[in-house]
Structure formats: structure tokens, C-alpha cells
Chain A
């Protein structure tokens, strides 16, 4: 069966349709690639939270509960749950945007191949981000189930932390995607991201204790961190951690702004890089 153009692109390619849903074709390709690693994605999604629950949630939690009875009025695992979900979401979405971006622009340059099709630079960015959100949704849902099984959700509202974490993942993913496009050297980029962004976020965002416990000169890391804003909201929504309405607005506003500006920045970076 030899190649024979029967109709020609003028008849078979619907540009108007691509302008509406072109990003989904990028998501579809990304999911196809993820599927190749389904086994490790699944094991990581289940094993990671289980180990965390056993070590920090149960182990450290027992120590803290025995010492002070509770944290923020709830048992330690309940206090920890929203923070762990947000951390998992942020970490997952970051992985799922940074690696494809470096691969697409630098390693295999597959984004330049997509850029030769009617799919626009913005749609490539949207498609990659959406795939990252789907992968993150899978991971944080598994995480939520594990937390539930370990008794971390003491109220019926515990599940609310899952979509909240997912939104934080989307916001951080959009923001970090634009930065990854601009990265000149991927080795340095990974090193800087891991040491100077992810680690401080994890340690200084009120994950394991309330931010107010920290000395004032270190709290600013938390204030800047999407993890702290998400964790505060998560604790407020899941077990009634005290927050003023103004602070609720600040946290929600921060995440919305990060998503909006992050996506806009990512669009600009994709367009710039693909038109060079």
C-alpha cells in the first residue's frame, strides 16, 4: 500500500477546529508518553504517601500527640494532611512540566515539530500543563486515599484538600513552566530549582508546623510560597483552622494570580522560543 494523497490537506484539515481544541492533541501525546511509564507513576503515587504516613504522619505524629496532645486543635496527621497533599501536587506538576519542556525545547526538540503544525505555541503550553494537571490529579487522589486510610481526614470535608492542592499544582506548574523555557542550562536549572526553590518551600512553608512558630525573619519564605497559601487554605477548609476573611482572600488571590500570571508568562516564553 503506497502513499497516495487522496484528498489533500485543503479538504481534510479543519483549522478552525484546531484553533479551538488543538491543545488537547498535545495533552493526548503527553498522556501517551506518560502511559509508557505507567508502572513507575502508579507505584510512586502509592508508595510515596504510604511512606510519608508511616514515618512523619504516624512516627513523628505519635511523638507530637504524646507531647502536646494536638496541633492547631487536631491530631498531627490531620494538621499535616493538607500540606502533604499540596506538596505532592506542586512536586508532581513541576516534574510534569519541567521535563517535557526541557525535552521539547532542548533534548528532542519535539515542540519545534509541533510548531510546524497548526497547533499554536500557546496551545503547546496549555496542552503540556493540562497533561501535568491530569497526572497530578491522579497522584493527589491516591495520596488522599492513603491519608484517609491512615485516618488523616477527621472531618467529612477532608477531601476538599485534594482539588485545592490540584489548583496549587496547576498554578505552580504554569509559573515554573515559563521559567523552565527560559532556562539556558538544564543541569544548573535543576540544581537551583531543587536546592533553592523546592527545599526551602518544603521546609519553611508551615508544612510540619505553623509558620508563626518560625522567627519573623524566616517567615517571608512562607509568605512567598504557594505551598503556605495552599496549606493555610487547606487547613481552614478541612478542619476549621482559624483564618480571617481577609486572609482567605489573600490566599485565594495569591493562587489565582500565580496561575494567571504564570500561564501568561509561559505563553510568552513558548512564543518567544518557538519563533527564534
Chain B
């Protein structure tokens, strides 16, 4: 996405030098970013990167220590309820009302937004359908699976038709099938033009759902672009993963360095970055280097993160 395109788009969130400090520790260390209407914007980073803190400041539930922040043109510090009225928040841990049924959870949440009963009743039908929970409407929340609770939490956040839907680690703790169902639902929202703000430490999730990603580490921004743009800028097209055994990886690494654009030696494997992974493997074999296992794959955001921070995303 070019800056020219961005210039013509409506800015919903604008942060300048945003900072949050706890005594001697900076959770968010002076970051700048903009989120545009209708886009899906992701904060990618490991645990402790400052993603959730940033989300909570945007959600007007945490005060910032410094910098400027406007959401829909207003400062959340002085216009908390006005900002909250237009956000749909899906927290990291589901905080549903266990004593109430699926339907009642949606109803009471709608009432917190002051919505009329008739409007909520109609909206509940849409949301149960959207969350694929129609047959669970009268079931108490405590009887739902993790994936169902997650979908209900997302449905709940949509009851007020928010301008921005914020999802903090939406699929953490879910099994692969539940994750894919959830991604499908979120993708549908994106197609409908709902502005999504997502934090995740899963690179596949970020690649699937986000138009633009801000890579964060230790409270700072490491890079910001589209998933494809980040990979293009910070990695090669392909990656060759080889294993020589944990004792030999460090021994052969110097010989491999000259063959690839860049290499990363991890405790269990070596990553070789090249435009053509198969050709590199062939060259390696010709030089008498025969790894125990090898795998050629496309570069991912994990490689971008490794390049930017020297660490893997999920450690």
C-alpha cells in the first residue's frame, strides 16, 4: 500500500509517540502508527512486546504515560465513554457471564450500549447465525467449547455495530479446526468493511487476516508494511531449512554462510535464505554437505521477525 493511497483514506486511529511506562519499565516505548477505515491492521510480536498494552490504551481502559492518540478524532483519555461506544472489544481471555445463556450474554451486552430491546432481539438472530451458535442459544456459557466461547465473545463485541473491532490474540488456545472457523468469520467481517485491529503472535494468523502489520518487540516498532511487503523487504523468496544434528549445526554453518544470501543458526536447525531453495540444496549436496533433513519453503513473517530481532516469534 503506497502512501498516496493512504493519504486519501480516512484515519480512524492515529498514534504519535505513544508511551506507557511502569516505574522503570517501558511497556510501550514511543510508537507512531495510523489505522485506516476498513482495513485490517495487525500488531505482531511475542508475549511482552507491548501489543496488548497498546490495545488497552486504544480501548480507553488504560491511560497512556505520554504521546498523542486520537480515535475517531477524539482522545480516549478525555473521551473514554465516547470512544468505547464505537469499539467492539474481544479480550485475550473470554470474560463472558457464565451464569447466563448464549443469547442472554448478547442481550445484556447490548443493554450496556443502551440499545433498545427490539433492536437487540433482531441483532441476536444475526449474531447467532454469524457465530454459528443458533442451536446453542439457550445453552449456558459454561457448557460451550473454547472455540464456541471465542465466537460468542466476537459476536458479543459486534452487537453495537462498532466502527472498530479489536481482537486481542483471537485464536490463542484454540485447536486448528476452531482457529480456521474463526478466521473464516473474521474474514467475512473484513469483506464487509469492518475495521479490524488484531494482536497476534501467530504469523500465519497475521498473514491470513491483516492488510498491514506492525511488528513489535520490547515496546517498540520494528517494521510496518503489508505481510508481502515485509517479507519482500526483510527476507528472501525462499528458505532452506537443514538439520545436521544439534552437535554439527554450528560446525557446518561457516561453510554454508558463503552459499546463501543470509543464514540463521538455530539450536535445532539452520535456515538458509535464498531466491531458489532447491538450487541451494543441490549446490550443498555437490559440495559434499548432506543434511539429515531438509525442507524448502516460502519465507514467512517468522523469518521477518527473526531478521528484525534475532529471535523466533514463539519461543
B194, A5: Cβ atoms closer than 8 Å: yes
A118, B114: Cβ atoms closer than 8 Å: yes
Interface flag for B109 (CB, 8 Å): yes
Interface flag for A41 (CB, 8 Å): no
Q: Is the interface of A mostly helix, strand, loop or mixed?
A: helix
B85, A118: Cβ atoms closer than 8 Å: yes
B158, A18: Cβ atoms closer than 8 Å: no
Q: How far apart sit A33 and B111, CA to CA, in the bound complex (Å)?
A: 14
B130, A33: Cβ atoms closer than 8 Å: no
Nearest residue, chain B, Cβ from A6 = B161
Q: How far apart sit A119 and B161, CA to CA, in the bound complex (Å)?
A: 17
Contacts of B97 in A (CB 8 A): 29, 33, 108, 110, 113
B93, A109: Cβ atoms closer than 8 Å: yes
**B112 contact from A14, A117, A274, Cβ within 8 A:** A117
Known contacts A3-B130, A13-B160, A22-B112; decide if A275 and B63 are in contact (CB<8 Å). yes
Nearest residue, chain B, Cβ from A37 = B99
Measured CB to CB, the closest approach of chain A to B21, in angstroms, equals: 15
Contacts of B33 in A (CB 8 A): none
Nearest residue, chain B, Cβ from A115 = B61
Q: What string of 1s and 0s marks CB contacts (under 8 Å) between A3-46 and chain B?
A: 11111111011110111011001101100110010000000000
Number of interface residues of B (CB under 8 A): 45
Known contacts A17-B114, A19-B81, A116-B59; decide if A29 and B192 are in contact (CB<8 Å). no
Interface flag for B91 (CB, 8 Å): yes
Interface residues on A, range: 35 or more
Interface flag for A216 (CB, 8 Å): no
B95, A25: Cβ atoms closer than 8 Å: no
B161, A36: Cβ atoms closer than 8 Å: no
A-B pairs with CB below 8 Å: how many? 129
**Which residue among A12, A19, A114 has the maximum number of chain B CB atoms within 10 Å of its CB?**
A12
**A1 contact from B96, B129, B189, Cβ within 8 A:** B129
A residues 217-236 near B (Cβ < 8 Å) are: none
A18, B109: Cβ atoms closer than 8 Å: no
Measured CB to CB, the closest approach of chain A to B72, in angstroms, equals: 8
Interface flag for B303 (CB, 8 Å): no
Q: What string of 1s and 0s marks CB contacts (under 8 Å) between B102-142 and chain A?
A: 00100011011111000100000111011000000000000
Interface flag for A246 (CB, 8 Å): no
Measured CB to CB, the closest approach of chain B to A48, in angstroms, equals: 23
Known contacts A13-B85, A113-B91, A118-B112; decide if A2 and B126 are in contact (CB<8 Å). yes
Q: How far apart sit A108 and B96, CA to CA, in the bound complex (Å)?
A: 7
Interface flag for A150 (CB, 8 Å): no
A18, B130: Cβ atoms closer than 8 Å: no
A9, B59: Cβ atoms closer than 8 Å: no
Known contacts A1-B129, A3-B158, A13-B85; decide if A32 and B113 are in contact (CB<8 Å). no
A13, B113: Cβ atoms closer than 8 Å: yes
Q: What string of 1s and 0s marks CB contacts (under 8 Å) between A246-261 and chain B?
A: 0000000000000000
Contacts A9-B86, A12-B161 known; list 17 others, CB within 8 Å: A3-B126, A3-B129, A3-B130, A8-B161, A8-B163, A9-B160, A15-B85, A18-B112, A22-B112, A25-B114, A28-B108, A33-B97, A116-B59, A117-B112, A118-B85, A118-B114, A119-B112
Nearest first, the 10 A-B pairs at minimum CB distance are A3-B130, A116-B89, A117-B112, A118-B81, A29-B108, A5-B161, A109-B95, A25-B111, A13-B85, A113-B95
Chain A residues in contact with chain B, CB under 8 A?
A: 1-10, 12-15, 17-19, 21-22, 25-26, 28-29, 32-33, 36, 107-110, 112-120, 274-275
